[in-house]
Structure 1
Amino acid sequence: MNWITKNLKEWQFTLSIGSSSELFIKILYSVLLWSTIKLLLIGNVVWGEDYFILLSDPFSGPDRLAMLLNIPAVRIYYLYFVLPFLGLILAGLLGFHNVFTRIVVWFLFVNLHFGNGAVSTGGHHLIQQLLFFHIFLFRVKSEEVSYLSSLGRFIHHLAYYSIWLQIAILYLVSGIWKLKGDLWLDGSAMFLTLSFKEFGFPWIANTLKENTIFLQILTWMVLAYQVLFIALVWIKPIRKWVLLFGAAFHISIIFLIGITDFGLFMIASYSIFINNDLAEKILRKIRLRRVLSLSA
């Protein structure tokens, strides 16, 4: 109980995770920039009039604001969603963002996501949640002393660790659903996934003739990782190795299965776990390179 009280007090007076939060936003925005520009190349199909999906607008009242691009009459104006989104993302990458811009980024992404449900992944759903929490990563200096600054630092910490918890819950729910079936428990899920030529790469499917002990062990390791992540990620001495395993898993999803957006979104979300000292060093190098490029 004393540990909890101590941390709650520290959260009010010291912002010890400011650099971690800022680096997280930059990395998240970088992947969002790439993903959105990629989809913009076929924007009229994804969000515009040439859509191939069944539009769904099940909500009424304020909830309908999340489904604006599911209204056919609105889809012709999809660029009014995409271009401001890209502009705010670029500004955020340069360090220009505040609570208002972060709210708008979240709102626009929600509409872009629900407007292209057929080409979204679980990573898009996760990013939608993380963008909500990133609204509350208030930039409050530790030396500012006032009720509002203390409240801002406290909310920042709550949002920061809520992002940790959201990622952990995602894995836990995914793992629990896997436990309800047979393919992950009997060790065949990885083999079957890699065997689908339509889903992954044909050359891999042609190489795999039968399930191997290696693929079985890998399947069980991934299952254990997802179920146990919610506990293991809080253990500092092993956190780095836990995250490295997860990063390797998601990199394999990118290169072996071909679900690039999902893999990149998951890896980007891992940046929230970078400790503040390392994050500060990375941000310092980014700022230095920007200064050198401007002066060249």
Structure 2
Amino acid sequence: MKKIIDNFSIENKFSFYSAFFRIFICFHLLKKVFLSWEYKDLLYMSKSFFVHEESGLLDFFNINSNVLRENFQFFYFFYVILILFYFFGIGKNLTALILFIFYEILQNLCPSILNGGDNLLKFIMIYMIFIDSYNYFSISPKLFKNPEYLKFNVFLSNLGGFSICLHLCLAYFISAIHKIHADLWFNGIATYYTMSLERFRGTNYNLSLAKNAIFVTLSTYATILIELFYPALVWFKNTKKLIIILAVILHISIYVFMMIYDFQLVFIFVQGFFIANNDWISFYEKLKSKINKYGKQAYNIH
């Protein structure tokens, strides 16, 4: 046990990708604000079609949802400010905590529009509170004069990062188990019913693919197998890349053919936590070097 704790305290194994994912969270939340702004009256304010009793953090902080709905524009304003603070790394983990509270309250105001991606992101934002994601893409990194505080910070960061990985594995495994016990999935015809629905008709090829028995059977069972074996194969070096690629292909396929967007984006970007920190840093340095090289060439031409 002591060896595990010591290993977790040596270096932040998620320093780069946690910072990149912090930026993704900010863009993702800002996009949702932009898309929902036109419909905020119906979704969140006093004219909301969804009226319910206070739950979650609304109940915990004893917040009257009606008062919040009447002053929702002020709430939304501070929510956007928090997202921008988090983007630049201002306030660091404290900002991450307050942003999560605002995000959770926003979800409680209109839970009927949430999807699996929103639920996963909520838990990831909890883990991100404990992760030091400010060494890259922020105004300033965290500085610790006391080495013990530094070790503790690294330990919490690694614990938070591995928690995200474990949560993703658990989500896949539970999803696979439920599919196995569902008749449509067990009999290999779930894809047929899904792609036949007009609601999920993302391309002109959906109906043709739904009528192809080979495609329907393979895609149905492939989905189950990827979700079922992902939690085991993603931890081994020889199988990690393959299972991540298969998972990304699965989510891109759902994105394109079924028009389920936010859900898939969150699951795709979370995959990056399984890639080694050194690989991300190496890729980043090479990319930055190429950009600087092309920038200098363009400057010399002009």
TM-score by length of 1: 0.85
The answer (yes or no) to whether the contact 1:81–1:112 under 8 Å persists in 2 is no
1:46 paired to 2:43: yes
Match of 2:100 in 1: 106
Match of 1:19 in 2: 16
The answer (yes or no) to whether the contact 2:104–2:122 under 8 Å persists in 1 is yes
Match of 1:29 in 2: 26
Aligned pairs for 1:1-296 within 5 A: 5-58=2-55, 64-65=59-60, 68=63, 71-138=65-132, 145-201=146-202, 203-208=204-209, 210-281=211-282
The answer (yes or no) to whether the contact 1:20–1:275 under 8 Å persists in 2 is no
1:156 Cα deviation after fit: 0.9
What is the letter of the counterpart of residue 73 of structure 2?
L
The answer (yes or no) to whether the contact 1:99–1:135 under 8 Å persists in 2 is yes
Moved more, 129-138 or 190-199: 190-199
1:216 Cα deviation after fit: 0.9
Give secondary structure in 2 for the equivalent of 1:51. Answer: coil
Q: 1:120 to 1:288 in 2, by over 3 A?
A: farther
Aligned counterparts of 1:287 and 1:124: Cα–Cα separation in 2: 36
Moved more, 4-13 or 181-190: 4-13
Aligned counterparts of 2:239 and 2:189: Cα–Cα separation in 1: 28
Q: Deviations over 1:240-295 (max 9, x none)?
A: 221111111111222211111111122222232332134335655579979x8xxx
The answer (yes or no) to whether the contact 1:28–1:269 under 8 Å persists in 2 is no
Q: 1:209 to 1:143 in 2, by over 3 A?
A: closer
Give secondary structure in 2 for the equivalent of 1:55. Answer: coil
The answer (yes or no) to whether the contact 1:47–1:116 under 8 Å persists in 2 is yes
Aligned counterparts of 1:213 and 1:89: Cα–Cα separation in 2: 46
What is the letter of the counterpart of residue 183 of structure 1?
L
What is the letter of the counterpart of residue 86 of structure 2?
G
What is the Cα-based RMSD across aligned positions, in Å?
2.9
1:6 Cα deviation after fit: 3.5
Question: Structure 1 vs Structure 2: percent identity of aligned residues?
Answer: 21
TM-score by length of 2: 0.83
Q: 1:73 to 1:224 in 2, by over 3 A?
A: same
What is the letter of the counterpart of residue 112 of structure 2?
A
1:49 Cα deviation after fit: 2.0
Aligned counterparts of 1:268 and 1:97: Cα–Cα separation in 2: 24
Aligned counterparts of 2:62 and 2:76: Cα–Cα separation in 1: 15
1:164 Cα deviation after fit: 0.4
Aligned counterparts of 2:44 and 2:107: Cα–Cα separation in 1: 9
1:208 Cα deviation after fit: 4.5
Q: Deviations over 1:207-251 (max 9, x none)?
A: 356351122111111111112221111112221221111111111
1:204 Cα deviation after fit: 4.1
